[in-house]
Structure 1
Amino acid sequence: MDVPWTSIFIRFVLLLFVLEFTSTFKQTGTCYFPERWEGSWFQSGVRQSILIEGPRLSSKGRCVGSEGDKFLLLDDKKACYRCVVIHEKHLNVLQYKETYCHSRELLPSLCGLITGDALLYSMFRENAVPIPCPFKGPFTFTYNRGHGECRYPVSSIDTCIEDSKLLLSYQACPDVHGSESAIEELQCLALWKEGSSRYLVGKIYHSHVTSNEDRYRCFVYEKASPSSETADPVEYRVAQSGDATCNGLFSAIEGSRTMTLKRAPPLNRCRFPYWIAGSNRWHSLDYSSTYSFHHKNSTLRITNSTGIDMKIVCVQMKQSSRDESAVVLVTHFTMGCQNGYVCMAFYRRDANVMEMQMGTQTNRREDACNSNFFDKNSIPFVTLVMPSIDAQRCPFAGKFDITNLVQNKRETAAGKAEEIGSGSFYLRKPGRSAPFRRVKRLDEDLDCDGFGEFVVGCSNYYTMEFTTDCSAPDLVTSYSCHGQWEENGTSFLITSPEDHATYGSRKFCFIYKRVVAGVMFSTSAENCNRLVHPGVTGELVFNISSKGKCFDTDASARAHPINAWLIAFILFSSLLSAAAATR
């Protein structure tokens, strides 16, 4: 039977193409993989990481020719060739099919040996940059691992602070074999669409995960049609692979584990006190933490200088004074992938100053403000100020002698709270106060033969000054007064160094108590610490006694001055070093 000329012509053209393809290999001798593929990759069943670098694909060989997604690799050790067809599904996912390693004689037809049903391998980028997950909680869900649907108790999905993570809380159903209680954290790494199916690759973290074989998983998901189920609408259907591949995963209703996601009922929301909204942003005294209020004053976001975030939603008002200057709230928090309920109290201390107390976490909303989780008498206060805070009149005016000036060093912050959980510095339980270590009195070996002067409200109504006419008579260390309040006979005064009393400058808390002989002072750099006893403990301790009003100039009433540079150095260094030690 004669072969049609058209068939002969087609075969001839194909032969020319193959010859040209192979001759290109001979001429170039090398080719390079796309630069964006470079790095280390994980593949299930392969012990070591697969490295793509320049022309090399780890142990598979060196690229000697390419066309489109086809790459011809030379295995230098075995002196043989293989064809690898690589498809980029996502920047973090490569899938490929390959031939066995063959001799040079099969080069013209090597890539033709890859059939449609050849085994598909998946490679997942190690140390990949995460991506936002395709669905955001909260959800409730049921799941099936092949032994029946686990419907009750219902499982849940919560969105983490990072939108690239989800927290899956599986519940065990007593009537379903293979169901178990577990908490898994899913980090989303790649998304792509293939036909009508949408794929997700992620890493799963839980207590039993020990290797990447257990960590990487592939998912197929679909968004349910809103009109199909209206009584209790399903939002997503999800199927999960049973290993670190995407093999055998073709639809959202077939997989090693299938899940049906429904939108969880929203949290009931309350609002934070109206006066907090006067500034949607507050700061700790040392500016290490920022408290931002959002979404109609119902959401709070706390950001630490280390980058740790905490999101808090107001859920229920538990107690409130008539003017809302003091409130106790039940709130829902999310920090990383940790979430639950916590009781919080807010106190308006002055127009630009407030304090906050936060209890310990609980999974039950009704327990949050119980005494086991929230005890006002033992929880430390966090002092917060607005970013732009006006100076106010200082509490008393006049000139005062300084006595018993003492700098206290401490190994840890007094009353610093113990941290609950790894990396959690917001959710705290009260700790025992660390003892202060008393150092020598600073007036024992001064060059000057006396104490300095403390002047309040004389230059203007808003400043406190340490002055001297010793070796540096013109040196004045001044503090601006910003806000004050009194509590059980002890007063608290928020100040800032006058040279730095600008937007965003750190503040200090002066804690004082009036006595017959004068006023006993202590300072605190991080918060207005209730464990500090004025004139006894604190970062800087000193007492003052009146020597006259601002307009008195009688030199005989003037006490022996202290060396001003030493006062300035002690005051600044003690407060700043104490603040650094507590971070």
Structure 2
Amino acid sequence: MQTAVINGTVQYSYVNITQDAIPIWGQCHRRIGNNVVLMIESINSACYRCVHLKLRSRNVLQVNTVNSDFLSKCWRNESLAVCPSEEVLNKINATTEIMLYKKFDAEGHVIRKEYCPIHGKFTFTYDVSDDASNKAVCFNRKSSIDSCPSGSALNLHFQDCSFENNDTTFECLGNWEGRNNQQYLALLGPGPNNERILQYRCAIYHEEKNGSISIAVASDSTCINNLHHALYGHEALHLTPIPQNNWPTEVIHSRCSFPEWLVGKWQHIIVNENTFLYKDHTSFKTYTFKCLARSNTDQTKYSVFSRTQCGEESYNCLWVKQRSTNVMEFQLGIQTNKSYDPDLCSDSNFLPDTWITQARLRKEPGECPVAGEYTGQLPDGSLFCAKLSSDCQAPDTMFYTVSDCSHSQVYEERQYKCLGQWEENGLLYTYTQRIDLAPSFYECFVGSIISDKQINIMEAGEQCQRLKNPLDYGMKLYKQGACYGTHPSPKPVMPLDNNNASNHLTTQSTNYWTPTSVTPYTEFDNGISSSASTSFQKLPIFAILLIIFNLYRLI
């Protein structure tokens, strides 16, 4: 039953996720991997329910539960609050799915834009799979779609269809790989008949080698209802790329090629012999760089011809550095030119210490720069302690926890995979991937190994920011023992005693060494409204993580 459809209009409810509770669902009681047991406590008793949380992107949180009546019932015996297993999660319709779409972040800021995986210009056909005799179709490929000027949105231009011509824009909220390796996409766009009321939509897409793309869209905000695969959903689109202009003569006749170590797929980059495709998640442009010539003065710089997904063209210089087997960094020249100019590769055309860091997607085994168990106090809060520990059997994995120094109350637990490290100006940079969150979360540490008993470390953002000073401002950690797997350090686990543990749920990356310290807000509005913007004005816009909860459920 779709409880959020009223008079044919999709409507939503709001859910606040605080540090240690989802007030409408319960208080955080126990965490077991991505499963969280929630507790609702009264004077004489308590009841429990279990949810599986999967952060699909910065803006999308997928919740699964084995009970179809999850919102109306909970269990007095914790052992009866069954959590979804991986086997059950992989089965279609075996769990109840709830999609949460973030509206504002913890500080009340509007959500950050996300890059759309579909970029460029296309013609498309369109079909709606319903039984209506007058269903909407576009079969003649006069309609077009593009991601211009911003790669964070898809602009659809319906022309000569079975309905009136119109233009529609969908904002991209995130994409991820889901069940059966299918590629999912979350969208925010207008409702039926281009209503001003925005609706959240889920889609599956697939790109062929020739550049054509199939997209199927669900009938609602879930990723289940009337959504089967990229060719079959409530709405179906087939995109054909519009041919681009020919490449300039310099590109066609160039014998330039990028180094072999650079070829492959990276976070936001795909490199083959002479082409460097970069999806800029800051400007939301997709750049295709064609190699023209290697610099005579610096073998790590390349003159390139650049073209964006919207057809903007220029000449520039690309500077690439291999930091480790799995990590590279690059810069683009500040100034561009309308014609080929080798001087674009001069040092004066680059900013000092400003790099874009990227990890290889097919990673080689690596290891973390330190091994053992280290503890210390947070530099900006003496009441909080941190522990950094590693696994002897998995040298590329490290664990990080923040706790109350007085009561050993765990506030946060993280797990990292070390991808690579390098030394620069006497400091050690380590690029990592958060493996307790969505696969797209990468973070960088900068530190200094003071001795075999002490390290100083601090966060350096996703792009390994330079000009950080861990010696004066970093957290001091002192070695307490060997890595777990050998005596004496055990593998870190979340505490199971509810009276001594408050596991703070977060759905976005925070500073590495700062625990979430916002006072929980316990009131919430679960009213249904036909206008998301109007309804939200009733809610506090301060220290909460506000997520729109789509009430669609399967029973």
- Say whether the fold is shared (TM-score over 0.5): no
Q: TM-score with structure 1 length normalisation? A: 0.38
Name the structure where strand makes up a greater proportion of residues: 2
Q: TM-score with structure 2 length normalisation? A: 0.40
| Bigger RCO of structures 1 and 2 (CA < 8 A, at least 6 apart) | 2
Which has the higher Rg, Structure 1 or Structure 2?
Answer: 1
